[in-house]
Amino acid sequence: MKNVVKSLHLILIFVFIFYVENTFAQSQQSASTDKKSTFWSKVRFGGGLGLAIGNNYTDITIAPGAIYDFNQYISLGFGVQGSYVKQKNYFESYIYGASMIVLGNPIPEIQLSAELEQLRVNTTYENSFNSVKDNFWNTGLFLGAGYQTNNVTIGLRYNVLHNNNRNVYSEAWMPFVRVYF
């Protein structure tokens, strides 16, 4: 837990430095600039949708998000996620939560990321005798890198807080596709 707090502090300090830099740069612009339209022109929306349906398995995920581009190198975003997962005659799970992401682009084609995700997991396991509930919070801290072209980034991320015994995800390494417009 101390590592999570340290990581959060580092991310927040990093974001604060770039926020101050961006604020200073904006104050140097002419007074005729409309700040409201400047803010919204730097916001991009996106997220993810997932659907897997089979004879005995269902997985539906909706994860909208938004990011703010401080400049061409750094962005900060927030998102929410909701999932429904069911395997017939075995388990049913509702997963929901929020995330915060910092994106860095040292060059236009490369995107580095740090994402903190907090999910609530409510699972009911079924068998022929009874049902067992397993409810817990899952925290993930993902560090990633990807190739970016236009509004799409494809890459790989690693959950540094992954726990094999208690986790939403079966592996620490995860491929990703990000789309923001």
**Predicted TM-score of the model (pTM):** 0.76
> Does the pLDDT of residue 118 top 90, yes or no?
yes
> Does the pLDDT of residue 99 top 60, yes or no?
yes
**Neighbour count for residue 157 (Cβ, 10 Å):** 21
Confidence at residue 37, expressed as pLDDT on a 0 to 100 scale? 76
Q: What would the mean pLDDT of 112-132 be, rounded to a whole number?
A: 93
Which CATH number fits the domain that encloses residue 59? 2.40.160.20
Q: 20 — alpha (psi -120 to 50), left (phi > 0) or beta?
A: alpha
> Does the pLDDT of residue 4 top 50, yes or no?
no
Number of domains in the chain: 1
> Does the pLDDT of residue 20 top 50, yes or no?
no
Mean pLDDT of the chain: 86
Supply the range of the domain harboring residue 140. 2-179
Confidence at residue 174, expressed as pLDDT on a 0 to 100 scale? 94
> Does the pLDDT of residue 11 top 70, yes or no?
no
